[in-house]
Amino acid sequence: MMSRVAGRRGLRRILAIVSIVAALGLGGVTVAGAQSGGRVGVEGTSLRLDGKAWWPAGFNAYQLATNWSVNKGCGAEVNLDEYFAGLPPHSLTRFNAFEALATDKVTGRRDWTAVDAVFRAAERHGQLLVPVLTAQDGACENEVFKQRDWYADGWRSAPHGAAASFAEWTESAVTRWRDSPALAAWELVGEPETSVCHGGNCDLASRTCPPDAASVLRSFMDEAGAVVRRAAPGSLITAGLTGGGQCGTAGDDYQYVGASPNVDILQYHDYHADGIALPGDRWNGLAVRIRQANEIGKPLLVAEIGQAAGPGAATVERRAFDIERKISGQRAAGTAGALLWSFVPDPRHQDATYDIGKGDPLFAVMAHYNAVGGPPGRD
C-alpha cells in the first residue's frame, strides 16, 4: 500500500495545490462550500456558525429517524424534542438520513415523515445536523458492503432501495432539506472505502485493496459531491473518512481524497485509544491527519470518538474524564470539533458498550466545549 502511495506523491502535491487555488477562488475556480449561504461556514481550518467562530461538540445519534409506524427503523425510537432540548445550545448531531428511513415499510414508496421530523425538531431547538445519506456497510438498508465498483459507477446506475440510484436519492434528499436552518453539512457515505471482497465475504481478512482505490474514491467525492453542489449551491460537504489507513485513504491518499473541491470538511474516527489525544501511527494517526488537513486548508472534525463503559470497562465517570482529556488535547492540536459515539435512548448498562444515555456525565463535558465564539480554554 505504501509503495502505491509513494508512486503518486508528486501528483498528490499538484492536486493539493489545485485544491487550495480553488478554495481561494483563484483562476476563475470557486468552491461552493467555502462561501456557504447557510448558517455554517468554513474559514480556513475552522468552522463558523452565523458568522462567529464555532468549535462544535456533540453526538452521533444514528437512530433519530427511526419511526416504527413508517419505516423499518435503525435502532430504537427517540423522543426527538427531549433529545434536542437536552443538548447544549448549538450542538452538532450526526445521524442516519438513509433512503430506507424515508421509505414506507409496507408500500415501499417514498415517505419523508421520519427524516423530516428530525430536521423539524432540530430547528425548534436551534440545533445543527450532519445527515449521513448512506453507510459503507449497508447497515439499516440492504446490509450489503459497498465495494470498488459501487464507487466507480454503481452509485449512479444501481438501484438504491426505492430510489433509482444513490445519485437520485442524493439529489432528492439534498433538494428536500437544503433550506433547513438546522443543516450543517452533508455526508455522502459514512466510512467509505474502495476495497474488493472475495468469496462472498466482506470481513476485513477477505478484502483486498485495488491499485486504483484512491483515484476511484477521489472521483466519487468529486462527482457525487457535484450532485450536492448542483442541488444545493453553498452547502457544505464533509467526507466521512475513518482516517485510520482504510483502503483508498491510507497514508498520503487521505490528503489526495480530501483535496477534492467537493469536500469542505475532513473527518477522523477515534476508537481504542482511551484518554489519548492523538492516537495512531506516523502514517495514519490523528497527528498526520491534522497536518494533512492544514496543508490543504480544510477543517478536520473528529466525527466519532468511542470509549466503552460498563462491566469490565470504564465507569461512565471515568469515561467522561478520559474523553475530556482527549478532546482537550485534540482541540489544542488543531481539530475543528468533536462528536461522540453514540447517544441511544436505551443504553445497555448491563454490558460494556459505547452507549451514551440520557443523564450521562458526557453531556456536561460536551457543554463545556460547545460554544459559539470558541470554547473557553481549559488546557
pLDDT of residue 91: 97
Task: For residue 374, give the 3-state DSSP assignment.
Answer: coil
- How far apart CA 232 and CA 36 sit, in angstroms, is 10
Q: What is the pLDDT of residue 377?
A: 45
Residue 348 and residue 11: Cα distance in Å, rounded? 48
Residue 214: inside a domain, yes or no? yes
How many residues does this entry show for the chain? 379
Q: Strand, helix or coil at 183?
A: strand
Helix (H) / strand (E) element for 12: namely helix 9-23
Longest dimension (CA), the chain: 59
Return the CATH number at 308: 3.20.20.80
User: What is the bridge-based pairing of β-strands 196-197 and 52-55?
Assistant: unpaired
**Overall domain count for the chain:** 1
Q: What pLDDT digit, counting tens, does each position of 57-81 carry?
A: 999 999 999 999 999 999 999 999 9
Is 349:310 a contact under the CB 8 Å cutoff?
yes
Which residues fall within 8 angstroms of residue 167, CB to CB, at 6 or more apart?
155, 156, 224, 227
Distances (CA, A) of 92 to 58, 61, 203, 242: 5, 10, 32, 18
Q: How many CB atoms lie within 10 A of CB 68?
A: 11
Query: What confidence score (pLDDT) does residue 37 get?
Result: 58
Asked if residue 278 belongs to a domain, the reply is yes
Q: What order of strands is seen across the sheet that includes strand 337-340?
A: 128-132, 92-96, 57-60, 337-340, 300-306, 266-271
Peptide bond into 69 cis (omega under 30): no
DSSP category for residue 38: S
The answer to the question of residue 378 being in a domain is: no
At what angle are helices 9-23 and 286-296 packed, to 10 degrees? Answer: 50
Q: What is the dihedral of CA 12, 17, 18, 24, to 10 degrees?
A: 150
Q: What are φ and ψ of residue 366, in 5° steps? A: -70, -30
Q: Is 307 domain-assigned?
A: yes
For residue 307 the three cell numbers come to 470509549
Pairing mode of beta strands 40-43, 46-49:
antiparallel
* pLDDT of amino acid 176: 98
Please, are residues 170 and 235 in contact by the beta-carbon 8 Å criterion? no
In the block, cell 439499516 appears at: 140
Is residue 379 one of the residues assigned to a domain?
A: no
For residue 334, being part of any structural domain is answered with yes
Structural domain range at position 153: 2-372
List strand residue ranges (DSSP E) for the chain, in order.
40-43, 46-49, 52-55, 57-60, 92-96, 128-132, 196-197, 207-208, 266-271, 300-306, 337-340, 371-372
All residues at 6 or more sequence positions from 342 whose CB lies less than 8 Å from its CB, including other chains: 59, 60, 61, 62, 304, 306, 354, 355, 356
Please tell me the distance from the alpha carbon of residue 1 to that of residue 11, in angstroms, as a whole number: 16
pLDDT tens-place values along the chain, 379 residues long: 433 333 444 444 444 444 433 333 333 323 333 334 589 999 999 999 999 999 999 999 999 999 999 999 999 999 999 999 999 999 999 999 999 999 999 999 999 999 999 999 999 999 999 999 999 999 999 999 999 999 999 999 999 999 999 999 999 999 999 999 999 999 999 999 999 999 989 999 999 999 999 999 999 999 999 999 999 999 999 999 999 999 999 999 999 999 999 999 999 999 999 999 999 999 999 999 999 999 999 999 999 999 999 999 999 999 999 999 999 999 999 999 999 999 999 999 999 999 999 999 999 999 999 866 655 444 4
Q: Answer yes or no: are the C-beta atoms of 323 and 362 closer than 8 Å.
A: yes
377 is a domain residue: no
89: closest CA among 58, 134, 48? 58
C-alpha cell at 205: 481478512
Q: Answer for the pair 364, 91: CB distance below 8 angstroms, yes or no.
A: no
Does 181 fall in a domain? yes
Compute CA distances 272 → 12, 73, 269, whole Å: 30, 28, 10
